[in-house]
Amino acid sequence: MSSRAHPVDGSPATDGGHVPMKPSPTRHKVGIPPKQNMFKDFMYTFKETFFHDDPLRDFKDQPKSKQFMLGLQSVFPVFDWGRNYTFKKFRGDLISGLTIASLCIPQDIGYAKLANLDPKYGLYSSFVPPLVYACMGSSRDIAIGPVAVVSLLLGTLLRAEIDPNTSPDEYLRLAFTATFFAGITEAALGFFRLGFLIDFLSHAAVVGFMGGAAITIALQQLKGFLGIKKFTKKTDIISVLESVFKAAHHGWNWQTILIGASFLTFLLTSKIIGKKSKKLFWVPAIAPLISVIVSTFFVYITRADKQGVQIVKHLDQGINPSSFHLIYFTGDNLAKGIRIGVVAGMVALTEAVAIGRTFAAMKDYQIDGNKEMVALGMMNVVGSMSSCYVATGSFSRSAVNFMAGCQTAVSNIIMSIVVLLTLLFLTPLFKYTPNAILAAIIINAVIPLIDIQAAILIFKVDKLDFIACIGAFFGVIFVSVEIGLLIAVSISFAKILLQVTRPRTAVLGNIPRTSVYRNIQQYPEATMVPGVLTIRVDSAIYFSNSNYVRERIQRWLHEEEEKVKAASLPRIQFLIIEMSPVTDIDTSGIHALEDLYKSLQKRDIQLILANPGPLVIGKLHLSHFADMLGQDNIYLTVADAVEACCPKLSNEV
Amino acid sequence: MSSRAHPVDGSPATDGGHVPMKPSPTRHKVGIPPKQNMFKDFMYTFKETFFHDDPLRDFKDQPKSKQFMLGLQSVFPVFDWGRNYTFKKFRGDLISGLTIASLCIPQDIGYAKLANLDPKYGLYSSFVPPLVYACMGSSRDIAIGPVAVVSLLLGTLLRAEIDPNTSPDEYLRLAFTATFFAGITEAALGFFRLGFLIDFLSHAAVVGFMGGAAITIALQQLKGFLGIKKFTKKTDIISVLESVFKAAHHGWNWQTILIGASFLTFLLTSKIIGKKSKKLFWVPAIAPLISVIVSTFFVYITRADKQGVQIVKHLDQGINPSSFHLIYFTGDNLAKGIRIGVVAGMVALTEAVAIGRTFAAMKDYQIDGNKEMVALGMMNVVGSMSSCYVATGSFSRSAVNFMAGCQTAVSNIIMSIVVLLTLLFLTPLFKYTPNAILAAIIINAVIPLIDIQAAILIFKVDKLDFIACIGAFFGVIFVSVEIGLLIAVSISFAKILLQVTRPRTAVLGNIPRTSVYRNIQQYPEATMVPGVLTIRVDSAIYFSNSNYVRERIQRWLHEEEEKVKAASLPRIQFLIIEMSPVTDIDTSGIHALEDLYKSLQKRDIQLILANPGPLVIGKLHLSHFADMLGQDNIYLTVADAVEACCPKLSNEV
């Protein structure tokens, strides 16, 4: 319906020469978009919500066989990048695979203890999930395995239900159940394309939450670092420091502290060296493995374990036993497993998707958020059946993987083969590894999670964001991980609700020598037209803000009338609402406009709308508000509207 | 910091003559608002959120005594309007008071049965709360007392906890506890100025919920209307119809049906007469009282109660006994009371505030939402201590009050005096009143709640709104009142979340012979500038939509590049983002812009921002994104931006 927008005024078309004729006061009719029927309208919203990246784009008009191949490749990307895999890529993957293996083996043992599980489960979780991810995942740089924050979260959630010391078997079964349902949640989110739910954890909340979790994890390591036996179960800073100082006089073991402190300094210095130049990236990568080997050798020779230095003692040999029969599918443990699984799954997902996106942006390739979630979900489902607990992408190991020049997910396969070999042959060697070294490795690994720069940037840019960040940070440190998470999510939601219930409104003024109207606070030189008040509403008018918008406009009008009376300027006769930011309006919004129109009419002020969007003008016509207001009170631009008001104004003043 | 916006170009100021010099290509610098410190920024958001109607406005620079008087008047408005009360106003209030009294007495008895309470509690609730409201409330037209929807909601919620037949005392105590906490919730919402939470029940959801509740209530009356003894406890339509037809052969009592049907027709015809002309408004108003008197007299003479016509039987005489000692303040009934009180209080509040606003708009006086809530809350708190259950504003009675020409809240005082006299002297007269007549009165009262016109308007205007309306409607009818309410609220929330996570984006084109760029779908005549793609983002860019916005822009670019390649037009070299609707941006949004900038740079496409708002440009500078993008890539208008790109374009093409 491309109706001629305005009558041809017969003036010779200016050829873009210097002095175009002043645009004759042709009043452009505000375009009404073609009437979309309900089904098309609903399909548009549905498609934008769930399929906004138009996944089936490449499938269009392809032969059946090609479509099947594309389908297979979309579920198992390995068939896609596997086809053009070169030896050069393999070299990069080999180096990076070995590097992250050396990093993940000591970390796995430590992280398993965070989840109150036997160290071997940490290694198991670095064997099966990476293999599954390599086939189904589409991120090239992510390093899969257990991570500190998720291990801590799982540990605290599980311990709240079952005490790992008194009934370890039941605890283990609940851990596998939680992992199973974490996988199901992640895969379901991906399958039903609900990926955008992850976006609800705001960036600021994640920064705060991660920082708080890092400090909590570091505090937990004090037990291993200082060699304390009796330690609090709670994770908040007060109870931890309390039990640390209570054990001060008799509990600390100076030999343990000596080992821990020396190797921690070694690890930190290797990190500083690594930062010096890109080429030295491997130094901080293999430092953990070296410190494990050296410290184990040292304890083995000096038999320090006799003088109170706690050691790993026993690490079973052999690969993952099947654990499908251990998963609870009935009883009240099932409900607990589901609840813990969903929370752990969502947090694990947020981390992995954030990592995937960061490195995809760096190497400029696209990853499909929803497909990632299906891959991460399936790897945890398979993992839960092979004695693994929740695995996800690890920030620190992925960064090392990226710097070590990994090309494809084959780096994960190499890592999991090295872990397999360790499980088969090397586990006895860890007998004399002191706990203190594991504590040092974990502390060293979590430090980069405390992102001070990001927090400072958030403070400078958006104060409300900063409150969400600090809320999550202190929530995790002073109360517990779940409460910290809860605070983070609720502040994020509150921010959305605030934005939706209290939109900004601005008074506009004309910028001299242009036909442009802008916010007078931002452009002090903009002048207001006497007798006319122009207000811009900066959001869609919905039920959640329609009353506020109406009352706020009436208050602007009230203040303006007082100023005009004080300066004895001409009375305000026109109220122009600049509607361009008003992307949509619902029935409550239309009622608010009707009420505003009636109350203005009683005070002999004419309401005028400028530049209503396609959706809004359509709805104003459907609800007959446009007829009530009068067609000639709706203009394309504020300039047109003011021009139309001026003649009426001049004869009155 | 009102820096000179642009260099004076020395050209003679045009005197508004006909041929203004083409605005020399002075590029207006995008104004950066003065740096607001954090405290002022926080105070602005705080003030706009909680005190947007600036309640202390009249208190400024007033002498102490005047301020005290104003304070007293704001808490007890009766001192304000009471002062200039004339005999003429009293006459209007007297007539309207008597009219709504005749309407509310029969309704109260029926509504109390809805809440599974003895009829006298309905009358009690029309005596104390209206008096309290008359002193503290500021709406002139609202009629206070028990209402059908809230009585049904309270009845179903209470019956789910305690069976009214087996333990009536405990049921009664829980009812008073729920009323007490409903009052506390309402007063707290008002006191902490959280009134905007009520706005979250969207208009469409309320229409659907009320319609469903009206049908459910009418179905409940079938028990009294058909004289059935054994009746289902559930309120959903299937179980009700089931128990109606199960009792069909032996349960129905034809005398009861005869009385009920005849008086229902009488009430409906009186309603049609009332609609004929304004002057006959009183006919439908006193019809219920007449039908009660006539039917009671008829049953008394014919002793119809002997032939199975159920009657009210016993109605205690005397005014409200104190019930403060009956309210639970400890034990698990306390928790139940709080939960039920909060739900009932919120629904009651939504109705009363909606009524207050509608009539305030009609008579063009302002009511303060938050003060109303304190008044409604206090009246329920006092009511709970004097054997009343949850009272609020009634749609039907307020409309009659309005038409009967009420002037002030004195109409409520008159009504409560008439109710007092009834309680003291007239209760024995109700002994022979048949339940069927109460059922007929309630059916007649709830019919206007089914607002078909509003539903049709919602269907025409906003399909998503319509889904919320239907969802609530079927939820109440087919499941239960609480589930209907839950569906209504969650669909309203989903709509907000959808708006926040999936903002609209539009491709802009230039409208011939103007410097205006508009949505090409709405203005088919708008033409796109070759080599340049202009996209407008129609919402604030927050964490909840930053990824979607980035991906959606990249998809527009991808589609445009395909079209341009197909039509072998010049390559796209500039991507202009029209930022005027982008009212705010947070750190996630800035990260999204950075990622977009980097990925565009790799494809040698220059990113340009047009007309960023005051908040946005401030944050872009703080986060150094503006420097990264380059100052000269931020323009005041799209027209300026296109003009700046054209020279660079022309030499390339």
pLDDT range class, residue A58, cuts 50, 70, 90:
low
Comparing A614 with B510, which gets the higher pLDDT? Answer: B510
Q: Which residues fall within 8 angstroms of residue B510, CB to CB, at 6 or more apart?
A: B516, B517, B526, B527, B528, B529, B639, B642
Query: For an interface test with B, which of A495, A538, A624 has the most B Cβ atoms less than 10 Å from its Cβ?
Result: A538
Q: Which of A69-83, B246-260, B391-405 is modeled with the greatest confidence? A: B391-405
With 60 as the cut, is the pLDDT of residue A26 above it?
Answer: no
- Partner residue facing A52 (CB), from B546, B552, B623: B552
- Partner residue facing B457 (CB), from A462, A515, A623: A623
Contact call for residues B585 and B616 (beta carbons, < 8 A)? yes
pLDDT at residue number B28: 60
With 60 as the cut, is the pLDDT of residue A21 above it?
Answer: no
The three-state secondary structure class of B527 is: strand
What ipTM goes with this model? 0.72
B364 touches chain A (CB under 8 A): yes
Q: Tell me the shortest Cα–Cα distance from A235 to chain B, in angstroms.
A: 29
pLDDT at residue number B5: 35
Q: Tell me the shortest Cα–Cα distance from A617 to chain B, in angstroms.
A: 10
> Which residue type is seen at B621?
H
A604 touches chain B (CB under 8 A): no
- Partner residue facing A463 (CB), from B38, B196, B458: B38
**β A574-578/A606-610 pair status:** parallel
pLDDT at residue number B177: 93
**β B606-610/B144-145 pair status:** unpaired
Q: Show residues of chain B in contact with A357, CB under 8 Å.
A: 547
- Check CB contact under 8 Å for A31 and B518: yes
pLDDT range class, residue A528, cuts 50, 70, 90:
confident
**What φ, ψ does residue A47 adopt, rounded to 5°?**
-65, -45
- Partner residue facing B52 (CB), from A49, A552, A619: A552
Q: Which residues fall within 8 angstroms of residue B279, CB to CB, at 6 or more apart?
A: none
Comparing B407 with B51, which gets the higher pLDDT? Answer: B407
Comparing A402 with B175, which gets the higher pLDDT? Answer: B175
Q: Does domain A503-645 have CATH number 3.30.750.24?
A: yes
Q: Show residues of chain B in contact with A364, CB under 8 Å.
A: 598-599, 602
Give, in degrees to the nearest 5, the angle at Cα B237 between B234 and B239. Answer: 50
- Partner residue facing B23 (CB), from A514, A539, A547: A514
pLDDT tens per residue, range A111-156: 998 898 988 899 999 999 999 999 888 888 899 999 988 998 899 8
Predicted TM-score (pTM) above 0.80: no
With 60 as the cut, is the pLDDT of residue A20 above it?
Answer: no
pLDDT at residue number A174: 92
Q: What is the largest CA-CA distance in chain B?
A: 104
Partners of A535 in beta bridges? A507, A577
pLDDT tens per residue, range B153-200: 899 889 888 888 888 899 999 999 999 999 999 999 888 887 777 777
- Check CB contact under 8 Å for B586 and A524: no
pLDDT tens per residue, range B549-563: 888 898 888 888 888
pLDDT at residue number B3: 35
Comparing B42 with A194, which gets the higher pLDDT? Answer: A194
Contact call for residues A400 and A217 (beta carbons, < 8 A)? no
Q: 57-86 in A: which are within 8 Å (CB) of B?
A: none
Q: Show residues of chain B in contact with A592, CB under 8 Å.
A: none
A358 touches chain B (CB under 8 A): no
Q: Tell me the shortest Cα–Cα distance from A207 to chain B, in angstroms.
A: 11
With 80 as the cut, is the pLDDT of residue B528 above it?
Answer: yes
A583 touches chain B (CB under 8 A): yes
pLDDT tens per residue, range B313-365: 788 888 888 888 888 888 888 989 999 999 899 889 888 888 888 788 777 77
With 70 as the cut, is the pLDDT of residue A25 above it?
Answer: no
pLDDT tens per residue, range A221-241: 888 888 777 777 777 888 888
- Partner residue facing A22 (CB), from B18, B45, B503: B18
Contact call for residues B272 and B189 (beta carbons, < 8 A)? no
| Rounded Cα–Cα distance for residues A200 and B463 (Å) | 26
- Partner residue facing A203 (CB), from B2, B502, B588: B588
| Rounded Cα–Cα distance for residues A104 and B552 (Å) | 37
B501 touches chain A (CB under 8 A): yes
3-state SS of B459-471 is HHHCHHHHHHHHH
**β B144-145/B392-393 pair status:** antiparallel
B615 touches chain A (CB under 8 A): yes
Give the pLDDT mean for B363-382.
Answer: 86
Query: For an interface test with B, which of A544, A553, A638 has the most B Cβ atoms less than 10 Å from its Cβ?
Result: A544
- Partner residue facing B544 (CB), from A2, A465, A496: A496
| Rounded Cα–Cα distance for residues A74 and A66 (Å) | 12
Determine what percent of chain A is predicted with pLDDT higher than 90. 15
- Check CB contact under 8 Å for B623 and A465: no
- Check CB contact under 8 Å for A461 and B590: yes
- Check CB contact under 8 Å for B461 and A361: no
Instruction: Give the number of other CB atoms < 10 A from CB of residue A261.
Output: 13
C-alpha of B72 from chain center: 29
With 80 as the cut, is the pLDDT of residue B264 above it?
Answer: yes
Contact call for residues A382 and A188 (beta carbons, < 8 A)? no
Integer angstrom CA distances of residue A141 from A73, A79, B213, B595: 19, 18, 56, 18
pLDDT tens per residue, range A183-209: 999 999 888 887 777 777 778 888 888
Instruction: Give the number of other CB atoms < 10 A from CB of residue A24.
Output: 11
Q: Tell me the shortest Cα–Cα distance from B511 to chain A, in angstroms.
A: 9
Instruction: Give the number of other CB atoms < 10 A from CB of residue B252.
Output: 15
Q: How far apart are the first and last CA of chain B?
A: 42
The three-state secondary structure class of A585 is: strand
pLDDT at residue number A182: 94
- Partner residue facing A581 (CB), from B33, B201, B580: B580
Q: Tell me the shortest Cα–Cα distance from B185 to chain A, in angstroms.
A: 20
Contact call for residues A633 and A593 (beta carbons, < 8 A)? no
- Check CB contact under 8 Å for B586 and A543: no
| Rounded Cα–Cα distance for residues A542 and A544 (Å) | 5
Q: Mean pLDDT, chain A, as a whole number?
A: 82
A601 touches chain B (CB under 8 A): no
pLDDT at residue number B14: 40
- Check CB contact under 8 Å for B203 and A543: yes
Integer angstrom CA distances of residue B474 from A309, B160, B619: 68, 20, 47
Each domain of chain A, given as residue ranges in start order, spans 80-493, 503-645
pLDDT at residue number A260: 87
What b/e string do you get for A216-252 counting C-beta neighbours within 10 Å, with b at 16 or more?
A: bbbbbbbbbbbbbeebbeebbbeebeebbeebeeebb
Q: Tell me the shortest Cα–Cα distance from A27 to chain B, in angstroms.
A: 11
pLDDT at residue number A649: 57
Q: Tell me the shortest Cα–Cα distance from A281 to chain B, in angstroms.
A: 25
* DSSP designation for A518: E
pLDDT at residue number A607: 92
With 50 as the cut, is the pLDDT of residue B379 above it?
Answer: yes
Q: Tell me the shortest Cα–Cα distance from B534 to chain A, in angstroms.
A: 16
Out of A78-87, A120-129, B465-474, pick the least confident. A78-87
pLDDT tens per residue, range B1-38: 333 333 333 333 344 344 444 444 455 666 666 655 66
Give the pLDDT mean for B438-447.
Answer: 87
| Rounded Cα–Cα distance for residues B98 and A631 (Å) | 46
Give the pLDDT mean for A513-526.
Answer: 82
A461 touches chain B (CB under 8 A): yes
- Partner residue facing A41 (CB), from B33, B463, B524: B463
| Rounded Cα–Cα distance for residues A161 and A179 (Å) | 15
Q: Tell me the shortest Cα–Cα distance from B427 to chain A, in angstroms.
A: 44
pLDDT tens per residue, range A283-326: 888 888 888 889 888 888 888 778 778 888 788 888 888 888 88
Task: From B272, B281, B289, B283, select the one nearest B400 (Cα to Cα).
Answer: B281
> Which residue type is seen at A387?
S
Partners of B519 in beta bridges? B508
**β B606-610/B574-578 pair status:** parallel
**Residue of chain A whose Cα is closest to the Cα of B15:** A513
Q: 11-30 in A: which are within 8 Å (CB) of B?
A: 14, 18-23, 28
Give the pLDDT mean for B536-545.
Answer: 85
